[in-house]
Amino acid sequence: MSEAADKQPEAEAPRPERRPRVFSGIQPSGTLHLGNYLGAVRNWVDMQETHDCVYCAVDLHAITVRQVRAELRRNTIDLVNLFLASGVDPERSIVFVQSHVPAHAELMWILNTITYMGELRRMTQYKDKTAEAEGESIAVGLFDYPVLMAADILLYRADAVPVGEDQKQHVELTRDVAERFNNAFGKAFVVPEPIIRAGGARVMSLDDPTKKMSKSAGSENSYVAVMDPPDVIRRKIKRAVTDSGAEVRGGPDKPALTNLLDIYGALAGEPVADIERRYEGKGYADFKADLGEVVVAALTPIQARIKELEADKAYTVDVLKTGADRAEAIASRTLAKVRERVGLVPRP
């Protein structure tokens, strides 16, 4: 009998009472910005109402680019504090650090054996990140990074993966790899769906609306950092580039205003058309002044809560300890099933 025909029952017995599960992660690789908040964290918070959620600081992804040891440690804790301060509730959701659960790296190895070089070479993020590098000095980890991401998601048998637009291709690769594994070895994985929420899925740079807002590229004025003080936020929004013309209106010919209106709408929870209507007859200066206040109002409470968390370091450590234990319990079950499917002898 071929291995493909040797299909076995589902890895986890169906649990009718189980809510759909979500997995998502963010790299602790420096300044968190409004794009990360709107594209990811804000949706993570909302999804707690409807899903069982697993949220992760993906430190093994961060080291695909050289990090400074002390900064990586601090950034990892800061990122977890941002999750908590934004409303991720560790009583309801699992919050943990990727490298605390070794199953991620182990599953990655197994998935490496069924992922194709051609698939990874086609990843836009890989192409962007290596555009200027010499072929011989591109780290294998940078190339292989989407396979680690697939392992993250598949270990938790996640049904849904809330991400910004830029990560959609990686989730699609994850789906392909999961299906390939299930077909070749018998079902072990849930095939996950990307969840990309319309407003804020692709926040663009403030000084160049053709590029996405990013922590690695561009000047300080290209992004609003989650921790920027109010006067800095106001200044950055004021300096944001605008389009020719004077009307506060979005559209394909107005990439800068489209971006600013999207940010406004996403933060204020208001349809862009309503905002455009309110600013009829008013100019860019009025709109930007108000947008500055909308951003300040959204980020100030998060910043205050982060300060509180920083004053009680033991709390975050405790969250991470519980989170790693709970994550490991799920991950180790999936990994045991995968090992069995592949034919690895169980440890006696």
Known catalytic residues are 129, 212, 215
Judged by CB under 6 A, does residue 201 bind ligand TYM? Answer: yes
* Closest distance of CB 9 from ligand TYM, Å: 27
Judged by CB under 6 A, does residue 166 bind ligand TYM? Answer: yes
CA atoms within 13 A on the CB side of 25: 28
Largest CA distance in the chain: 76
Q: Looking at 19-27, 84-92, 179-187, 311-319, which segment touches ligand TYM (CB under 6 A)?
A: 19-27
Judged by CB under 6 A, does residue 25 bind ligand TYM? Answer: yes
Q: Pick the closer one to ligand TYM by CB: 175 or 186.
A: 175
* Closest distance of CB 151 from ligand TYM, Å: 9
Q: What does the alpha-carbon distance between residue 306 and residue 256 come to, in Å, rounded to a whole number?
A: 31
Q: Looking at 25-33, 86-94, 270-278, 325-333, which segment touches ligand TYM (CB under 6 A)?
A: 25-33
Q: List the one residue from 24, 64, 93, 316 that touches ligand TYM (CB under 6 A).
A: 24
Q: List the one residue from 42, 212, 234, 236 that touches ligand TYM (CB under 6 A).
A: 212
Judged by CB under 6 A, does residue 154 bind ligand TYM? Answer: no
Q: Pick the closer one to ligand TYM by CB: 39 or 292.
A: 39
* Closest distance of CB 61 from ligand TYM, Å: 5
Residue 311's alpha-carbon distances to 81, 128, 163, 305, 308, in angstroms, are 11, 39, 30, 10, 5
Residue nearest to ligand TYM (CB): 39
Q: Looking at 126-134, 196-204, 254-262, 319-327, which segment touches ligand TYM (CB under 6 A)?
A: 196-204
Q: 189 and 182 in contact (C-beta within 8 Å)?
A: yes
Judged by CB under 6 A, does residue 203 bind ligand TYM? Answer: yes
Judged by CB under 6 A, does residue 76 bind ligand TYM? Answer: no
Backbone angles phi, psi at 128, to 5 degrees: -65, -45
Location of structure tokens 């190895």: 109
Residues 7-27 as b or e (16 or more Cβ within 10 Å = b): eeeebeeeeeeeeebbbbbbb
Q: Beta partners for 212?
A: 204
* Closest distance of CB 246 from ligand TYM, Å: 27
Which 3 state secondary structure label does DSSP give 240?
Answer: coil
Q: List the one residue from 152, 207, 243, 328 that touches ligand TYM (CB under 6 A).
A: 152
Q: 209 and 255 in contact (C-beta within 8 Å)?
A: yes
Q: What does the alpha-carbon distance between residue 63 and residue 29 come to, in Å, rounded to a whole number?
A: 8
Judged by CB under 6 A, does residue 265 bind ligand TYM? Answer: no
Q: What does the alpha-carbon distance between residue 118 and residue 103 come to, in Å, rounded to a whole number?
A: 25
Judged by CB under 6 A, does residue 129 bind ligand TYM? Answer: no
Judged by CB under 6 A, does residue 58 bind ligand TYM? Answer: yes
Sheet holding 52-57, edge to edge: 94-97, 52-57, 21-26, 160-162, 193-195
Judged by CB under 6 A, does residue 199 bind ligand TYM? Answer: no
Q: What does the alpha-carbon distance between residue 44 and residue 50 come to, in Å, rounded to a whole number?
A: 11
Q: Pick the closer one to ligand TYM by CB: 114 or 123.
A: 123
Amino acid found at 334: T
Judged by CB under 6 A, does residue 224 bind ligand TYM? Answer: no
List alpha helices for 34-131, DSSP H.
Answer: 34-36, 42-47, 59-62, 69-86, 103-112, 117-121, 124-130
Query: What's CA 221's distance to the chain center, in Å?
Result: 22
Judged by CB under 6 A, does residue 88 bind ligand TYM? Answer: no
Q: What does the alpha-carbon distance between residue 182 and residue 340 come to, in Å, rounded to a whole number?
A: 13
Q: List the one residue from 67, 81, 99, 167 that touches ligand TYM (CB under 6 A).
A: 167
Q: What does the alpha-carbon distance between residue 153 and residue 181 come to, in Å, rounded to a whole number?
A: 14
* Closest distance of CB 148 from ligand TYM, Å: 7
| Contacts with ligand TYM, residue ranges (CB under 6 A) | 23-27, 35-36, 38-40, 58, 61, 149, 152-153, 161, 163-164, 166-167, 170, 201-203, 212-214
